[in-house]
């Protein structure tokens, strides 16, 4: 079946449909990871986005039940150069085509993903529509232009859990995770560090969290514009200085806003497992997993005591902050790094040490 990807710029890419049929809107971005497509598909931070993989062959090792990163697929569509017809891995439960079809996610293959990526790099991430139903190019471009995009839109409400959930019941230190779209491997890494993990909805206020008497609070990753989620920012603001805080990805943006900073939209974002990041405290370079379209403006962080700990070596943007007096720190990348690399896993140990010293 024929499928079309239409961008608000007027650019059209024709290809073949796989996965589910239908029509979906979203911001189109590219991901430079060579592997880990299942983890990308199930990352809630991609809510509202259509993801194009720059690696040309996707799907060769299939999909399994162990490598999912959330309770479902939240992205809007999936774009590849070539979908592998052969699934060759002993852990595979099904193929990519069947997996997307079962989860009602449209895919398109046969697209010149190199040309698409170049277009996004030059013009920036943009609104798009992927369709197997309406194949009229002018009409699809008009639909892309009129779609809502990401700026000013609260997408956390679409991915957060309802109520409270106990991830595990044993551990030396109790960590409350504010779920803005948390990846499962963040929870697994906390458990590996000896933590007892409780997940709460993004709507949970600071007073309720403090009633649980946590040793630490983790502000999770998540989708969309951080400025559109003021209720989480207010929760972070009220928790500052009362309990150790660790923010990841959107969690850093929430913490940055709570500290009086500003956020802005990147031209095409950071999406991939090969982003070089420098730890300014040690001078070491780490290869990190990243998935974000917004960032904290380092110049806006004027509050006394804020330390910039990490920067992105590709564009110099802010990748980590710390406020020692308030026992709070955050990074813009993903230290849990499922499917890898695992360079930044040490940060979970830093969180544990912070909770120990606070105790």
Q: Active-site positions?
A: 249, 334, 336
Q: Rounded distance, CA 43 to CA 26, Å? A: 15
Angle, helices 230-239 vs 250-258, to 10°: value is 70
DSSP code per residue over 214-282: -SEEEEPP--S-GGG-HHHHHHHHHHTTTS-EEEETHHHHHHHHHTT--EEEEEEEEEEEEEEEEETTT
For residue 292, list its beta bridge partners.
270
Query: What span, in angstroms and rounded, lies between the C-alpha atoms of 48 and 150?
Result: 7
By C-alpha distance, which of 218, 152, 221 is closest to 180?
Answer: 221
30: nearest Cα among 69, 65, 312, 13? 13
| Direct distance between the N- and C-terminal alpha carbons of the chain, in angstroms, rounded to an integer | 60
Q: Using CA atoms, how far apart are residues 61 and 72, in angstroms rounded to an integer?
A: 19
Question: What is the sign, positive or negative, of the torsion defined by CA atoms of 32, 35, 39, 42?
Answer: positive
Helix (H, G, I), strand (E, B) or coil at 268: strand
Coil/strand/helix, residue 172: coil
User: Cα–Cα distance between 102 and 90 in angstroms, integer?
Assistant: 21
């Amino acid at each position: 079946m024929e499928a079309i990807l239409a961008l608000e710029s007027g650019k059209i890419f024709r290809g073949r449909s796989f996965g589910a049929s239908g029509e979906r809107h979203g911001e189109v971005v590219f991901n430079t990871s060579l592997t880990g497509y299942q983890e990308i598909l199930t990352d809630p931070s991609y809510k509202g986005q259509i993801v194009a993989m720059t690696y040309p062959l996707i799907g060769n090792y299939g999909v399994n039940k162990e490598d999912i990163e959330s309770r479902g697929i939240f992205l809007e569509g999936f774009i590849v150069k070539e979908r592998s017809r052969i699934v060759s891995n002993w852990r595979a439960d099904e193929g990519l085509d069947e997996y997307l079809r079962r989860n009602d996610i449209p895919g398109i293959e046969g697209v010149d993903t190199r040309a698409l990526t170049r277009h996004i790099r030059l013009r920036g991430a943009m609104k798009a529509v992927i369709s197997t139903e309406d194949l009229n190019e002018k009409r699809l471009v008009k639909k892309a232009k009129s779609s809502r995009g990401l700026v000013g839109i609260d997408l956390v409400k679409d991915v957060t859990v309802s109520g409270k959930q106990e991830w595990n019941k044993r551990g030396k230190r109790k960590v409350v995770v504010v779920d803005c779209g948390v990846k499962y491997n963040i929870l697994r890494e906390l458990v590996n560090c000896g933590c007892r993990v409780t997940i709460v909805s993004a709507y949970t206020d600071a007073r309720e969290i403090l009633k649980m008497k946590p040793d630490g609070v983790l502000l999770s990753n998540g989708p969309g514009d951080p400025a559109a989620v003021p209720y989480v920012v207010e929760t972070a603001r009220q928790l500052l200085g009362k309990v150790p805080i660790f923010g990841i990805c959107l969690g850093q943006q929430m913490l940055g806003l709570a500290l009086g900073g500003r956020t802005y939209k990147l031209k095409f974002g950071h999406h991939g497992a090969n982003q070089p990041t420098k730890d300014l405290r040690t001078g070491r370079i780490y290869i990190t997993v990243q998935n974000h379209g917004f960032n904290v403006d380092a110049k806006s962080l004027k509050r006394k005591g804020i330390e910039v700990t990490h920067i992105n070596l590709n564009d110099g943007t802010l990748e980590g902050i710390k406020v020692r007096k308030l026992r709070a720190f955050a990074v813009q990348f993903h230290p849990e790094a499922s499917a890898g690399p695992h360079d930044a896993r040490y940060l979970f140990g830093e969180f544990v040490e912070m909770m120990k010293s606070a105790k």
